[in-house]
Homo-oligomer: A and B are copies of this chain.
């Protein structure tokens, strides 16, 4: 007998039929002799509907009251799923975030879990009940309801799995697992059987939105074995764990990220401390810089380019212009980043050259290159991004 945590997103519980589908998956797991804790999100469009209600009242509603409002979404889901489980003969009980023991800091709308008091969940499991927990929410020290922000339900599920030392945390989605590239856009993609936490983190940060990064980081920290699988098609998904089988594949995936802005500063002094000053200014404004490229100095001057998210580009520009030394600054928002990820690639230099060959064959110009132990990224024209991903995928996987 194992302890399994199963998490279902909003589309998996969006209506009566989907709720019963989830109930059957849960009941089958329970009937197979496992203890089961289920974490669910708000139904379908519920959260959007609630946000719209708040927007009618105020353009800038209090964050505390937003959390009070949004937390109702998951509370509706847990009660309905528990009713469905009871209806098919599987004894279940629903718990809100605060009932399940989620304690958080005070950061309304993006709270961090500080502690999970597992007494209630454990006692319900001891009574052989399936425990249905509202994801995305907790309680702070003021006894006020908080929400965990984007991807919060995944984080809730991993936190429960970590605290209860669950044997596995299954994240049910509308895809069957993690693929070598986006199956909707690239031919011949393959579903991965296993992938490491670090690989998953790189893929997620590159726009492969299967799992929220925060939940993967938490799973890595507490070594919680994750499985990404489909709630509609009952086949094995992709397991995310510390050490993954190699499966004969160095490369785990090809991904693109179109949320990229390239900022270039011309004619900065070519002297010690310049980079420190520039990136210190940006760090003060919480701007996350990704790739950095620096020209060779000439006549005491050099050029520096870096990438950041498009939403942060305007702030970055303003900060730099306000500083007298870096006024010759421009931004390019027509770029994209394509990347390959795989823990095995660092000892195989041929991988990078194959990636570059695929782009060369397709006349795609590479503007910037960045490498890490498990990732190679190239900045290219956004119009070439889909073509590049397909070409690289064909080159590496066919």
Contacts and interface: CB of A to CB of B under 8 A. Distances in A.
Interface of A: 16, 19-20, 50, 53-54, 56-58, 61-62, 64-66, 68-69, 71-72, 75-76, 78-80, 82-84, 86-87, 93-94, 96, 99, 120, 143-145
A68 B57 contact: no
A309 B76 CA distance: 34
Contacts of A143: 99, 120
A61 to B, nearest CB: 4
Nearest to A66: B79
Interface-central residue, A20, A53, A54, by most chain B CB under 10 Å: A53
A83 B71 contact: no
Nearest to A61: B83
B56 A82 contact: no
Nearest to A76: B72
A51 B18 CA distance: 18
Given A50-B76, A65-B79, A75-B72, A87 B57 contact: yes
Contact of A68 (B64, B66, B79): B79
Number of copies: 2
B94 A82 contact: no
Given A56-B16, A68-B94, A87-B57, A62 B82 contact: yes
Contact of A58 (B57, B78, B86, B93): B86
Given A79-B65, A94-B65, A99-B143, A58 B84 contact: yes
A53 B72 contact: no
Contacts of A120: 143
Given A57-B80, A62-B82, A65-B79, 16 more contacts: A16-B56, A53-B76, A54-B79, A54-B80, A57-B83, A58-B84, A58-B86, A58-B87, A64-B93, A65-B83, A68-B82, A69-B79, A69-B80, A72-B76, A75-B75, A120-B143
Nearest to A19: B57
A12 to B, nearest CB: 15
A80 B54 CA distance: 6
Contacts of A19: 57
The 6 closest A-B pairs by CB, nearest first: A69-B79, A72-B72, A68-B79, A16-B56, A61-B83, A57-B83
14 contacts: A16-B56, A54-B80, A54-B83, A58-B84, A61-B86, A62-B82, A62-B83, A65-B79, A65-B82, A69-B76, A69-B80, A71-B75, A72-B75, A72-B76
A53 B81 CA distance: 11
A209 to B, nearest CB: 28
A69 B81 CA distance: 11
B86 A65 contact: yes
A262 B53 CA distance: 49
A99 to B, nearest CB: 6
A90 to B, nearest CB: 12
A85 to B, nearest CB: 10
A77 to B, nearest CB: 10
Contacts of A75: 68-69, 71-72, 75
A138 B20 CA distance: 29
B68 A53 contact: no
